[in-house]
């Protein structure tokens, strides 16, 4: 379950940033989650609550999903990610290693596997307030 590892990393980063900024209590955290991560939000939120320290006890977590967008390097066609069109085992593989999308996906226009991911991968802190 990489949601737990991600939650631990996010909390660790929040605590480090809070210390650097001299924040005693963090009251708000905005987290952006790339669609390709396919994170189970319920598990991720629960994991975040389990890793919290006293300086995060009043923190409200807000999440924003960043839609995945691709661009073909051959024909320049751009398209969005559609997880529902993938087989379950492929979707699961992308869930754990988003970069593996290149092995399973093709440009819907020219069928090339050579594309770049323009948006929708990773997990990052947009902001913290305290």
Domain boundaries, the chain: 2-129
Are the beta carbons of 11 and 53 closer than 8 angstroms? Answer: yes
Which residues on adjacent β-strands are paired with residue 124?
A: 32
Q: Which of 35-49, 53-67, 78-92 has the lowest mean pLDDT?
A: 78-92
C-alpha span between 20 and 102 (Å, rounded): 38
pTM: 0.76
What average pLDDT does the structure give for the chain?
Answer: 86
**What is the rounded CA–CA span in Å between residue 109 and residue 127?**
38
Query: Count of residues for the chain?
Result: 130
Measure the CA–CA gap between 110 and 113, rounded to whole angstroms.
Answer: 9
Fold of 2-129: hypothetical protein PF0899 fold (3.30.2320)
Question: For the segment 15-53, what is each residue's pLDDT rounded down to a tens digit?
Answer: 999 899 998 889 999 999 998 887 889 999 999 888 877
């Amino acid at each position: 379950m990489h949601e737990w590892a991600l939650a631990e990393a996010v909390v660790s980063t929040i605590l480090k940033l809070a210390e650097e900024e001299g924040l005693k209590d963090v009251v708000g955290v905005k987290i952006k989650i790339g669609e390709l991560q396919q994170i189970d939000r319920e598990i991720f939120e629960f994991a975040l609550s389990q890793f919290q320290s006293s300086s995060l006890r009043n923190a409200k977590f807000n999440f924003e999903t960043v839609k995945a967008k691709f661009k073909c390097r051959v024909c320049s066609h751009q398209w969005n990610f559609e997880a529902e069109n993938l087989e379950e085992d492929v979707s699961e593989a992308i869930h754990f290693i988003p970069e593996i999308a290149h092995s399973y996906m093709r440009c819907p226009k020219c069928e090339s596997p050579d594309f770049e991911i323009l948006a929708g991968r990773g997990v990052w802190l947009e902001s913290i307030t305290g």
